[in-house]
Chain A
Amino acid sequence: MREITLSKAVNEALAEEMRRDERVFIMGEDVAEAGTPFKILSGLVEEFGTERVIDTPISEPGFMGMGVGAAMTGMRPVVDLMFGDFIFLIMDQLCNQAAKTHYMSGGKLNVPLVLRTNLGATRRSAAQHSQSLHALVAHIPGLKVALPSSAYEAKGLLKTAIRDDNPVVIFEDKLMYQDSAEVPEEEYTIPFGVANVKREGTDITLIGTSSMVQVCEAAAELLAEQGYSAEVIDPRTIVPLDEETLIRSAQKTSRVIVVDEGHQSFGVTSEIASRINEKAFYYLDAPAMRIGAMDVPIPFTPALEDLTVPTPDLVVKQALKLLRGEMIDAA
């Protein structure tokens, strides 16, 4: 099978959906000629024109709100938010307007909108361009949240997002745009709410989101060298979340670590670990643990930035504690 980069996969998904449905259009900063600073959208304006690939001024609340209005009146916009960190600017339009319109109208108004943005640190872009803020939007009822972990997921999930009649926020890992994976040439989509068991194992379950899936896979390899068999699961979407697969795995292995690039506290890891504690409690031989990014604003200097993100070694260290039955924070 051919391999393409995540950037190319996103590009293909958008092009295919725009050909398939003339109501789909893109708006955001530098999306047309420039194809975004990450060069993902190159070629789209040439094919679809500036009426469907719209460059906006630097007005995030403005064009987000317009995306909501366009979605409410028959179009299917894909709004491009250049850096996930800018999500703070658009929270009212996304969380007060888009997320709630279907509910507040008693089901009569739909907002079939996709917000495409990114997450991920270690690019030396410092605190305001490196955040992974998906937990904020997952917390808001009415929004679906997708976290592709490779080029294959990126294309499949984005197509599903565009066809979904609800507002969907999809976060790509900005460090992964040049990473390749096997992506079929034929048409395919990936459904929301279906987790992917990437590696089967029996001793411990490692649940990772986005690029943390690769971190978990690397950790699994290291654990295998020491004789432990780790299961690695990629939930793919956190809203809706495929709880069943995660719980079944926890019941099988009786040990779980959740790895996510959002901050350690009050985030995705807490939510998933909590559900496992609730629903797999009697099968757990150790508490379900969280590994997130350090609870600090992300520093600029490489010497410090790399210390703040979860790494395979950190995962292995925690896993060994659980596997050996060491008490966590013995009193």
Chain B
Amino acid sequence: MGTQVKQNSTADYLRMYRQMVRIRSFEDNANQLYLSAKMPGLTHMYSGEEAVAVGICEALTPQDKITSTHRGHGHCVAKGADFKQMFCELLGKEEGYCRGKGGSMHIADQSNGNLGANAIVGGSMGIATGSALSSKMRGSDEVTVCFFGDGATAQGLMYEVMNMAALWRLPVIYACENNGYSEYTPTDEIAAGSITARAEAFGIESFQVDGQDVLAVNDLAVRLVEKCRNGEGPFFVELMTYRYHGHHVGDINREYYRAKSEEEEWKSNKDPIIRFRSWLVDQGIATEEEIDQINYEVKQDAKAAVDYALSAPYPAAEEVDMHVFTDIKHAVA
């Protein structure tokens, strides 16, 4: 890669838009599957945070790595995952990315460099930093992005790995998706002081950016990824964003911790997809009709994928004790 920062083309912008719409559409469908009791377990909606995942992942190649969180569908789609296999995974079907054995909270897409969502808050920070260490040791220019929420800044592991990343100049970008809430508690009640200052204490250059502005996010991401490839990492980015749904799909009556008016404000005036759509039209990059067309296609795509997944088969019973070890086919005698 040269020293020039990548310039986005029309195709790039349209893809960015499409990716955000795909995420929104995926989440809407997943929510429906839950509400209509067709999806086992729980899941966590990313709706509202699309610009964060897309803005960053558009700056990465399939060889670059990401680690994700329990709110991981957005990262998964943004890193290049396919609807069918994602819906299959959420429904526990054999054709899912993890053969139905991981589910929403552990969805991983190894071929696209997604090392996996993690049900443990902050649980993937070590993995992301290790991935960066690995990249450096192998002499490759792969960058790793570690996604985590503001709630994860309460985990000790974050400080341990940031310390080591800084000591050894590892190519990792710590992306803190600050959506204002740590489960059911506002962030300012669980995180003392400044979030970026935490990283700065280790000498890690830190940035804060409007997470609802996909271009701002992408711009910053492209620059930081380039620097990482040149051995100037690690970096820390705090992205200010908002989740429209509750902490998980079952968290429906949430006015006790979050005002409806606040939710409305973010949805109406700060929605990343609407904002970007306006920008695209204003800049003459796309017409309203073209955008409508994209929306329509994505919607059809999603519906087809959901239908497919609903009728896809579950893994066979004999699979229950497979894949415990790489070299023992069935772990239970």
**A touches B (Cβ under 8 A):** yes
Q: Interface of A with B (CB < 8 Å)?
A: 25, 51-52, 56-57, 59, 61-75, 77, 92-93, 96-97, 101-110, 141-142, 144, 164-166, 240
Q: Is the CB of B98 within 8 A of A65?
A: no
Contact of A92 among B99, B120, B135 (CB under 8 A): B120
**B71 beta carbon closer than 8 Å to chain A:** no
**B284 beta carbon closer than 8 Å to chain A:** no
Q: Is the CB of A74 within 8 A of B134?
A: yes
Q: Once bound together, how far apart are the Cα atoms of A59 and B144, in whole Å?
A: 21
**B106 beta carbon closer than 8 Å to chain A:** yes
Q: Is the CB of A102 within 8 A of B325?
A: yes
Number of interface residues of B (CB under 8 A): 48
**Given known contacts A103-B101, A103-B324, A109-B110, A75 and B167 CB-to-CB distance under 8 angstroms:** no
Q: Is the CB of B326 within 8 A of A69?
A: no
Q: Measured between C-beta atoms, what is the minimum distance from A54 to chain B in Å?
A: 8
**B182 beta carbon closer than 8 Å to chain A:** no
Q: Is the CB of A75 within 8 A of B156?
A: no
Q: Is the CB of B326 within 8 A of A59?
A: no
Chain B neighbourhood of A52, CB < 8 A? 137
Chain A neighbourhood of B110, CB < 8 A? 105, 108-109
Chain A neighbourhood of B125, CB < 8 A? 65
User: Per-position contact with A for B109-125: 1 when CB-CB < 8 Å, else 0?
Assistant: 01000011010100111
Q: Is the CB of B325 within 8 A of A166?
A: yes
Q: Is the CB of A69 within 8 A of B128?
A: yes
Contact of B120 among A71, A74, A96 (CB under 8 A): A96
Q: Once bound together, how far apart are the Cα atoms of A80 and B67, in whole Å?
A: 24
Chain A neighbourhood of B129, CB < 8 A? 62, 65-66, 69
Query: A110 — nearest CB in chain B belongs to which residue?
Result: B326
Q: Is the CB of A107 within 8 A of B156?
A: no
Most chain B Cβ neighbours within 10 Å, of A59, A105, A108, A109: A105
Q: Once bound together, how far apart are the Cα atoms of A25 and B322, in whole Å?
A: 29
Q: Is the CB of B164 within 8 A of A101?
A: no
**Given known contacts A56-B164, A62-B163, A105 and B116 CB-to-CB distance under 8 angstroms:** yes
Q: Once bound together, how far apart are the Cα atoms of A123 and B167, in whole Å?
A: 35
Q: Is the CB of A101 within 8 A of B323?
A: no
Chain B neighbourhood of A93, CB < 8 A? 123, 126
Chain B neighbourhood of A240, CB < 8 A? 328
Chain B, range 61-108, C-beta contacts under 8 Å to A: 65, 67, 96-102, 106, 108
Q: Is the CB of A63 within 8 A of B102?
A: no
